[in-house]
Each structure stands twice: as C-alpha cells, then as structure tokens.
Chain A
Amino acid sequence: MNAPSLNAALPDEPPDGPPKAQAAKKPPSMAAGRVRRVAARLGTLFASLFIALTMAFALGRLSGDPTANILGPTAPPDQREALRQQLGLDRPLLTQYFDYIKGVFTGDLGESLQFYQSNTTMIFDRVPYTLQLVAGGMAVAILIGVPLGVLAATREGTWWDRAASTVALLGQSVPVFWLGMMFVVLFAVKLGWLPAGQSGTPKHLILPALTMSLYPMAHIARLTRASMSEALGEPFIDSARARGISRARVVWRHAFKNALMPVLTIVVLQTGILLSGAVAIEYVYSWPGLGQLALQAVQFRDFPLVQAIVVFGAVVFVCLNLIVDVIHSVVDPRVR
C-alpha cells in the first residue's frame, strides 16, 4: 500500500493527492463531444425520416393500380389511362418519387382524390381536434399513471402494489373501442350526463379523452413502477436515507429524478402514437380529428391522402424523438 509512488503511474485516474496536484483538471473537451453527439443524433433522425417517407411512397404504389379502385374494375382502359395521366402516374417512378420528396420539404403533400383539396390544408384543419384529445388524454394518463406507479414501487409487494398492478394490467388489455362504446352506453345513453359524440364544448372532450387515457395511463404506471423500483434499490437511496433525508425527499427528489427518463420517453412516444391518429376512438365518438380523416382516406382508397397522413405522422415522430433527446440531456448530467 505504498500509495504516492503508484499514483504517479496512473495518468488516466486523477490522483487524489493534495489540492494543488489536481487543480482544475477539466474533463477533456466536453463541448466538442457534445457537438459531435448532437450531429450524429440529428443524422440518425434525418435518416429515419427519409426511410419513413420512402416507405410511405412505396406502400402507395404497391397497393395496386389506384385507377382501378377509383373507376371500378369494369372501367374501359382508355378512361383509366386518362386518369393515370391526370394523376401523373404514367411518369417514371423515380420522377414521381423525387417530386414527392420535393413536395414534402416544401409542405405540399398533394391533393385528395375525394375532397379535391390540398392534403396539407385538410390535415392542419384536423390537427387542433386531435391535439385537444391527445392533450386531455395524456394529461389524465400522466396524472394518474405516475402517482400510481410510484405508489406501487414504494409499497412493493403490498396490497397497494397488487391493486395498482391489476389496474395497469386491465388498462393495457381492455380494447379502446369496446371501452368507448361502454362509456357511451353508460354516461351518454343511460345517465345522460355527457354527449355521446361530436365536438364543440369541453363536455364533448371528457369521454373521448378518458377513453384515450386508459392505455397510456396503464403503460406509464407499469413503467414508473419498474423504473422507480430499480432506482429505489440503488445504493445512493440508502445513502440518502442514512444521512437523515426525509422519505418524501428521497422518493421524489432522488429516486424519481433518476427513474424519470424512461417514463418521459414513453410519455412522448405515446403522444406521438396518439397524435398520428387515434382511429378507433375518433370513430366511436365521431371526433373530427386526424384518425377520422385517415379512416375516410382508407375507405375511399384516397392514396395521396393516406400517404400524406403517414408522412405527417413520421414527421411528428421524428420531432418528438428530438424532444426526448433534448429532455434527456437536460435531465441527466451524464448525457450533456
């Protein structure tokens, strides 16, 4: 245990000598590393966006000749040829693809076959409704899911834990369309407290938002429990308790802060899934959002509109991923 001589031989590990010996040795160029990380991350996101765009385009072409779907199988060939020309489908595939990509980056997502309107305009007309629904649903999901998960984790193995886990399991396994219909039957038809569908007043929002909140709430509760339970088992929790820090502070300030990241990630990604179209819920409640538009597009084989909605979803997802990364770097000093 002849420390001083050994210390000198370990240049990587800063020696724990007197203060003078280790003054102000900053970790090597953290800023440069950060720039490189951010650039790499942006590159990945951009690449995944590109893949999503390409897939949306390819799926539109692979689903068969749209002119046959629109005009019917018995339409004469010359009529179909005329429509094909009108839609620009007679041009080489690569030209169509480049036009499409150019359109995406200039905000032009084509024109709907059934509404004769710009897809971009129609999507942005529907977005506020879906946004309301998602905001309401996610707020309920977070406000119930997070405390439920923390409660289960801090009382692991008790009756509380089992009750919370059961609620979460139910929440993840009940189909939303069924739950939606049951809510309509109970609260709108039997009790007459709330409207059964459509939008307009805050009252209209309650049932769809509640229905929407269930699945993410369950997911958030389960993840919070797992993540908290792991954090509470870390040695620094014992260490904080040993120093006489109150239980509430240990749970919320230390454990929760460390358990937060996976929960935040799921919250943001669930938001993305719901934003790009909660088809079943919007259908059950006749909610005029994106999901309903997507359903109409699919039913009419309005492939430019379907494609436009897919592109919108992809862009939303990529942006949300970026937000997750930013939050991550704010919350966790190790990622900075």
Chain B
Amino acid sequence: MAEMLEKEASAGDGRGLPTPDNAPVLVVDGLVVEHRNRTTGEVFRAVDGVSLRIAAGESAAVVGESGSGKTTLAMAATGLGPRGEGDVRLLGHSLATLGRRRLRALRREVQIVFQDPHGSLDSRQSVRSGLKELRGLQRERTSWIDDAGLLERVRLSPDLLDRYPHQLSGGQAQRVCIARALLMRPRLIVADEPTSGLDVSVQADVLELLREVRETTGAALLMISHDLAVVRSVCDSVHVMQRGRVVESGPCETVFTDPADGYTRELLAAMPGARWRARR
C-alpha cells in the first residue's frame, strides 16, 4: 500500500486543467436552483441560497431528508444539472464561464458515485470495456494502474473483468463504480447516497472502501446522504439541509454531539439507536 501511495503522489502531473493545488476543490456561493413543472408552470425552489466550501482533501457531507435539495445541489455543483443562479467554482473554475469542452475536461477530475450502481452501469458494457472507454478519454492520466490492479484496489477479483453488470451483485457493481471513479485519479469524489441502494450487509464494506480511497488518494469527498450514521463514519464536516437551505454546518463531531438547529436535533433523534446512545 505504501508503494501505491508514493506512486500516486508522484503522478500529480499530466492532469487536465491547471488548477492551484491548495485552492478549495468546490466553492458554492449563494446557489439557487428552481425546477419548473412543464405542464402547470409551477416553480419549485429546490436549492435556496446555499453556500459551502470544500477544501482539497476534505471530506464533507450534505444531509437532509428526501426532497431537501441535496441531489439538486450536487448535480448543480458538478455542472450536470441545471445551474441556476449564484456561483459555483469547481477546482478554481467558475462553471458559468466554462465552455462545454472545458467542462467535460473538468468533469474527469470530479467523479461521481451514484446511488443505484446497476443503473449507473451500461448493461451492454462489460467491466473491462467500461474501463477501456475511460482509459481512452485520457491515456496518460489513467495509465497508473492496470485493470486487474484497479479491481484489487476496490477488493474485487480480476475475474470479474469480463462480467456484465447483470452478473454483478449490488455491492460488486458499486465497487466497480468506485473503481471507475478511482481510475481517473479525481480531485473530488461526489458520492450521492452511495450505500442506500445496497444490502445492509455490504453497506459497511463500501463505506470502508470509500474512506480508504479518500485517505490513500487525497481526493476530497462530497457525500450526499440521508443516513447520519454513514456520514459520521466517513466525513469530517457536515451541512444539514432542509427545504433547499443549509440550516446548520460544522465539523461532524460538533454537529452530532451538540446540534444548534432544531431540525438537526430532529434528524438525530430519528436515527436508529438514538435513544440507546442517549442513555449511554
């Protein structure tokens, strides 16, 4: 593992866009995103003036119940969804001023792990050909590891390389997704509910893998989740969202042990095992 770390540290050149290394990987400033219902014309404000900042190598979480705007925020922050008003600076580049081509180059440094691992794999593509496609995007950047080595990094057998998504279990598919993210040596990994589509028995393994990937690659992590236990085990800081607004932000330990906002307290109280922990 130590060799791998060294290899990664020295492989810092050959990246897509020049970015100062100490700059925050993501700065969101006053973001407002509205969805318009096409038939009724009603406007729904999914993200309502959110600001946050993720430093290089930091691991942050956005938590909140369904419909609180977490995913819309993540999609806007990575330039995948509607951008709305406000400024998003990804790896030091303002998304508003980036053209399509440069945005695509930037996306290779920001990898997303989605909630539904089977859905996010093309069913007509074997694991190997999926990796090959990514390698075709940027040969130098992805030459640091071979396919078998990459699968071993996410603790999968290289035998799975010739499998198609329908031949993988949920946990295996999510590991393949993480492997694909890892291959691009991203500076930021966005994980949108990465474990909620999985069996409870494999959730912990996948989280452990995410934690390890972050520690060994130095990539920053933005985790979107409704599961506070998951967030607590992986992230340094947390932003609590309710109805499109951030109601509380801070280091995980502070927010979880001494929540300032009423909504955060409600969320914490709804956590499984909350009462047991309170008694302890």
Q: In the complex where A1-B229, A244-B107, A254-B122 touch, is A239 in contact with B112 (Cβ < 8 A)?
A: yes
Q: In the complex where A19-B156, A244-B108, A333-B124 touch, is A1 in contact with B200 (Cβ < 8 A)?
A: yes
> How would residues 72 to 95 of chain B score, 1 for a CB under 8 Å from any chain A CB and 0 otherwise?
000000101000000000000000
Report chain B residues within 8 Å CB of A245: 133, 137
Question: A235's contact among B111, B114, B134, B172, by CB below 8 Å, is which?
Answer: B114
Q: B51 at interface (Cβ–Cβ under 8 A)?
A: no
Interface set, chain B 147-187, CB cutoff 8 A to A = 151-152, 155-159, 164, 166-167, 169-172, 175, 177, 180-181, 184
Question: A16's contact among B108, B125, B172, by CB below 8 Å, is which?
Answer: B172
CB distance from A246 to the nearest CB of B (A): 7
Q: Are A3 and B201 in contact (CB under 8 A)?
A: yes
Taking each of A16, A22, A331, which has the highest tally of chain B beta carbons within 10 Å of its own beta carbon? Answer: A16
Q: B196 at interface (Cβ–Cβ under 8 A)?
A: no
Q: B120 at interface (Cβ–Cβ under 8 A)?
A: yes
Cα distance A239–B126 when bound, in Å? 15
Interface-lining segment among B21-29, B202-210, B254-262? B202-210
Q: Are B184 and A18 in contact (CB under 8 A)?
A: no
Q: Are B184 and A243 in contact (CB under 8 A)?
A: yes
Cα distance A1–B206 when bound, in Å? 11
Q: B265 at interface (Cβ–Cβ under 8 A)?
A: no
Report chain B residues within 8 Å CB of A78: none
Cα distance A27–B166 when bound, in Å? 10
SS of B interface (majority): helix
Report chain B residues within 8 Å CB of A24: 157, 159
Cα distance A245–B107 when bound, in Å? 9
Q: A23 at interface (Cβ–Cβ under 8 A)?
A: yes
Report chain B residues within 8 Å CB of A332: 123-124
Interface set, chain A 1-46, CB cutoff 8 A to B = 1-3, 6-7, 10, 13-20, 22-24, 27
Report chain A residues within 8 Å CB of B38: 157
Q: Are A235 and B119 in contact (CB under 8 A)?
A: yes
- Give how many B residues have a beta carbon under 8 Å from the other chain's beta carbons: 53
CB distance from A266 to the nearest CB of B (A): 19
Closest residue of chain A to B100 (Cβ to Cβ) is A247
Q: B121 at interface (Cβ–Cβ under 8 A)?
A: yes
Q: Are A334 and B104 in contact (CB under 8 A)?
A: no
Q: Are A16 and B124 in contact (CB under 8 A)?
A: no
Q: A241 at interface (Cβ–Cβ under 8 A)?
A: yes
Q: A62 at interface (Cβ–Cβ under 8 A)?
A: no
Cα distance A334–B184 when bound, in Å? 28
Report chain B residues within 8 Å CB of A14: 169, 172
Q: Are B111 and A242 in contact (CB under 8 A)?
A: yes
Cα distance A247–B103 when bound, in Å? 12
> How would residues 105 to 132 of chain B score, 1 for a CB under 8 Å from any chain A CB and 0 otherwise?
1111011101010011111111000000
Q: Are B204 and A3 in contact (CB under 8 A)?
A: yes
Report chain A residues within 8 Å CB of B134: 243
Q: B199 at interface (Cβ–Cβ under 8 A)?
A: yes
Q: A162 at interface (Cβ–Cβ under 8 A)?
A: no
Cα distance A17–B204 when bound, in Å? 11
Q: Are B107 and A242 in contact (CB under 8 A)?
A: yes
Report chain B residues within 8 Å CB of A257: 122, 124
Q: A189 at interface (Cβ–Cβ under 8 A)?
A: no
Report chain B residues within 8 Å CB of A81: none
Q: A87 at interface (Cβ–Cβ under 8 A)?
A: no
Q: In the complex where A19-B156, A242-B107, A242-B111 touch, is A236 in contact with B175 (Cβ < 8 A)?
A: no
Report chain B residues within 8 Å CB of A19: 151-152, 155-158
Q: Are A258 and B200 in contact (CB under 8 A)?
A: no
Q: Are B107 and A243 in contact (CB under 8 A)?
A: yes
Report chain A residues within 8 Å CB of B152: 19
Question: A333's contact among B108, B126, B172, by CB below 8 Å, is which?
Answer: B126
Cα distance A71–B164 when bound, in Å? 67
Q: Are B122 and A240 in contact (CB under 8 A)?
A: yes
Q: A99 at interface (Cβ–Cβ under 8 A)?
A: no
Cα distance A241–B75 when bound, in Å? 12
CB distance from A245 to the nearest CB of B (A): 7
CB distance from B16 to the nearest CB of A (A): 8
Q: Are A236 and B119 in contact (CB under 8 A)?
A: yes
Q: A65 at interface (Cβ–Cβ under 8 A)?
A: no
Question: B169's contact among A13, A20, A254, by CB below 8 Å, is which?
Answer: A13
| Given A1-B200, A242-B110, A243-B184: 18 more A-B contacts, CB < 8 Å | A3-B204, A17-B205, A19-B156, A235-B116, A238-B114, A238-B120, A241-B107, A242-B78, A242-B112, A243-B107, A243-B111, A245-B137, A253-B133, A257-B122, A257-B124, A258-B122, A332-B123, A333-B124
Tell me the B residues contacting A by CB distance below 8 Å: 38, 78, 80, 100, 104-108, 110-112, 114, 116, 119-126, 133-134, 137, 151-152, 155-159, 164, 166-167, 169-172, 175, 177, 180-181, 184, 199-206, 229
25 A-B pairs within 8 Å (CB atoms) are namely A3-B203, A3-B205, A6-B200, A13-B169, A15-B171, A16-B169, A18-B155, A19-B156, A19-B157, A27-B167, A236-B121, A239-B119, A242-B107, A242-B110, A243-B111, A243-B184, A244-B106, A244-B107, A244-B108, A254-B125, A257-B122, A257-B124, A333-B123, A333-B124, A334-B123
Which 7 A-B residue pairings sit nearest by Cβ, starting from the closest? Answer: A235-B119, A239-B120, A6-B201, A16-B171, A244-B108, A244-B107, A3-B204
